Amino acid sequence: MHRHENSLNLLAQRKVTKYRPPDRTARIPLLSLDWLWVYIPGTLCNLQCGHCLVSAGPDSRILLPMEVEELAKALEEVAEYQEGHPFQIGFTGGEVLILKSKRFGRRLFPMVEKALEFGDLLILTNGILADHDTLDALVELEERSSHSITYRISLDGSNAKENDAIRYYLRQRPTFHLIIESLHRFLEHGIHPVIAYTYEGTGKARDVLNRKETLGKGYKRMLRKFGLGSLESWGIPFFDQGYETRRRNTFGLSHIESPGITNHCIDAYTNQGFEQFQCSYSRSFGKEPDGESGWYKCAVLPAKSIAADAYLGKSLKRAVREVKLNHPQCITCFHAATQGIGMSCSGN
C-alpha cells in the first residue's frame, strides 16, 4: 500500500482529545518583537515529505513565493515598530534555497542581503540545494554585513531508514545521504548548521523529555559516525497540523479539538509565563494564493487556510495586538512551556 494511503487510513482511526470548552481562552500580549519569520518561498519545496507541518511540496500553493520588495516592506515595518531595538529574521517555508534558481531570478541573494541590513538571519533548509556556488555566495554576503547568518537543517531520523520513511522527494526518492553530503559542504565553507529533528510533543512530561533525550543521543552518535560530530542538534515537538497530523496517528497521539488553555493555566503551570510562547515575541509574514501578503500570529500558523483567525492583517500595526490561544497547535506550545522546553519556530 502507498505510504500516504496508509496514513490516510490511519486518519480514519484518529483519537480526539477535547479539553475544557474555550471560554476564557488564554490571550498572550506581544511583549517584544524579537523575531520576524518570513515564508519567502511560500510553501514551495523541492521535497514532498510525508509529515510536513505546512503541507509544502513542489506543487503546494498554500503560500506563494515572495518578491524582494514584499520582504523589504515587512522588514521596514518591524524596524519602525522596534524603534532601534534589534530583531532577528528567520527565513522558512517550503524550501528557502529554491529561490536561488533562475526560475525565481536568483532572488534568494538580494533577499538575504536585504535581511542582513536589518538583523541576524536564520535560514531553515533541508540543505540539499546548498551547492558550493550557493554557499560561496551566502558566505560572501555574510562577510560584507555586520550581521550573521546561521542555518538549521532538518533530518527526521538518526539513520537513513527512519529519515527516508518520511522525508523524501516525489515518488519517495530518499534524502538522508543527500542531506549528510550537504552537511559536509556546509562544514567545508566554515558553516556549522544546527540539525533540527522532531519528537512526540504531547503526553506525560517525563516520557516526552526521556524520548527527546534518547533521540538527541541517537543524533549525536549518527553525526559522529559521519564525521559531523561538531554539529549540534535541536528537537521540535510535533504539531497537530498539515501532513504532520498523519504522524500523530502512528504514535497513537490524540488530536486536539479545543485546546482550552486559559491565562490561569499559563500562570499555574508554566515556569516563565508568556515568555516561552513564540507569539509573545514573534510574528510571521506570508503571501496568500490571491497574491496578498500579510501578518500572522506565529511561525506555526502562517496561512489563512491553516487557520483563518491566525491572519492578523495586511499591516504590522494590526498584528501587534494580543493573540488568542484557541488553536489545536497552541496545546503543543503549552506542553513545551510546561515541560520547560519552550518553542521558537516551525519545521520546514
Of 44, 75, 236, 301, the residue at the interface with ligand SF4 (CB under 6 A) is: 301
Task: Give the nearer residue to ligand SF4 in terms of CB position, either 23 or 133.
Answer: 23
Please state the closest distance from residue 109 (CB atom) to ligand SF4, in A: 30
Instruction: Evaluate whether 238 touches 305 at the Cβ level (below 8 Å).
Output: no
CA neighbours within 13 Å on the CB side: how many for 53?
Answer: 25
Instruction: Evaluate whether 44 touches 58 at the Cβ level (below 8 Å).
Output: yes
Instruction: Evaluate whether 60 touches 44 at the Cβ level (below 8 Å).
Output: yes
Residue appearing with cell numbers 500523530: 248
Picking from 345, 348, 346, the residue whose alpha carbon sits closest to that of residue 34 is: 345
Q: Which three cell numbers stand for residue 85?
A: 531595538
Picking from 231, 218, 229, 342, the residue whose alpha carbon sits closest to that of residue 279 is: 342
| Strand pairing category for 293-296 and 311-313 | antiparallel
Tell whether residue 330 is a contact of ligand SF4 (CB under 6 A): yes
d(CA 108, CA 339): 37
d(CA 298, CA 310): 8
The window from 85-93, 201-209, 218-226, 323-331 that contacts ligand SF4 (CB under 6 A) reads: 323-331
Task: Give the nearer residue to ligand SF4 in terms of CB position, either 215 or 331.
Answer: 331
Instruction: Evaluate whether 33 touches 87 at the Cβ level (below 8 Å).
Output: yes
Tell whether residue 279 is a contact of ligand SF4 (CB under 6 A): yes
Tell whether residue 323 is a contact of ligand SF4 (CB under 6 A): yes
Task: Give the nearer residue to ligand SF4 in terms of CB position, either 120 or 240.
Answer: 240
Of 25, 327, 339, 347, the residue at the interface with ligand SF4 (CB under 6 A) is: 327
Please state the closest distance from residue 28 (CB atom) to ligand SF4, in A: 6
Residue 105, phi-psi category: left (phi > 0), alpha (psi -120 to 50), beta (remainder) = left
Of 55, 88, 278, 344, the residue at the interface with ligand SF4 (CB under 6 A) is: 278
The window from 115-123, 157-165, 174-182, 275-283 that contacts ligand SF4 (CB under 6 A) reads: 275-283
Tell whether residue 298 is a contact of ligand SF4 (CB under 6 A): yes
The window from 41-49, 230-238, 243-251, 274-282 that contacts ligand SF4 (CB under 6 A) reads: 274-282
Residue appearing with cell numbers 471560554: 23
Task: Give the nearer residue to ligand SF4 in terms of CB position, either 168 or 277.
Answer: 277
Of 25, 55, 262, 329, the residue at the interface with ligand SF4 (CB under 6 A) is: 329
Q: Tell me which residues touch ligand SF4 (CB under 6 A).
A: 277-279, 297-298, 300-301, 323, 325, 327, 329-330, 333
